[in-house]
Structure 1
């Protein structure tokens, strides 16, 4: 008679029978970049996560590399004084974000540097596209995203991350990159980015919440899964190198569907709200935060994620070191 418990009888057999394994190579660490020097401020809703100026971020990247974390997704914290309706600072080569990307890549060429491509950090409207009469203009936004991507690629960044959810932007950006000689610059597309309640702490970190309305006309409806396959097919055919699902925990089924249908790497973004929930419950003693962290990350890998963007990256890497 078959007894599944036989393969759980000891730690040794459990380890041998384990189907899914997390490693440091799975992690990308999102970082928040501040303008200026020697600046560090904790994100109140994300304990242990800090906004860092360039000098301190260089030290953070170095420490992470020593820990075994090789990938970094870098987001700019843009002061309101720099914002306008057309996000012009996003492609200004003298702007601190672009200059810092150049510095980081020069100091640590071995690091995988991923950028954020969307108007919202730089937009006075707080939306991912151009706003006109209360509507988000798709095709007109692509021109600004194209200028942004060329400026980012020129810093030496390895991969650009269009998080805007405008239609056709992956193909548009791939063509522009190729035409300008950036054929080696990858695209990690935010393919299935849902209009989620789990982004709140991230928007606090960047002060990038919409000034009016919401993002439901361009981010996906949480009720839909077949639509994610349509988005993925478009991004795949337009030349994306990586397809991302965001958020992760509430969308493990979407990760699995993309993994089953597309033979390129699938990324999962373990977003700020998912991080904050575990941290908050752990601080109250309602659960073991370390165990919940590792279990949730394992669930993303089990669902099919090849890459996990997570604010837990450093803690998870340290945990893996301790339990080898």
Structure 2
């Protein structure tokens, strides 16, 4: 199997953990032999079988599913993208990535659908072989085939006959609406001439929340990008709110104008692109970025809501 120059995104059916490990051994071994990195996020049973087949010193990076999936799906897809870019910057020729949907608290089927779609978008131009494993039960191939162009069946690539439009699937699987966070630290409608004042306010709350100097600067830059987007491309006076929560410092920009990006913040636009760079930069700087739009999540919000979270130190 040749190394892909861009994303190859395949669904991998398996009968049991032993069969799953057997299927994965070939592509993971081939990737390592070609100077690629291998990152595997599977349950404990498959990991045990795969370690037995590959050997404990094979050079595979294993990640606990609970660790990776501790954020919204678009943020997780962004983390995958950054991991791949870091691997390439470190000398790897590409990445073989293995993932598996597992039962985790608070995560439903819409999470996995949105994650698969987001991964396909975030890594579409990166040299990645993404293998998404699923238990081969009744109806499972149709569901997985809706999200993938190909299956990997016992080592052979098989075209999917069930592939569906990404935008339709996103609308059928909306994310949860923004959670209520209580009384904010402040509420401010920011216009262009008050951007400097807004940055000083965000900086002060970052410091008071215990973020280190570098993290405070990242927060200020991320929020500045979001608010500037609202000023330039939205109503001209987006509303900024901030909260201090157990999960971190939250900044939220709301605007009455709906966004028009199906996968906001997931990939850097082309140098000639006019839209999307601010959201992508904010996603790179913050620990979590979430966007709700009337287009992406009908009935969930009016206009656009963008939240960034900086985790506590």
TM-score of the pair, normalised by structure 1? 0.28
Q: TM-score, normalised by structure 2?
A: 0.29
Task: Determine which structure has the larger helix proportion and give its number.
Answer: 1
Higher Rg: 2
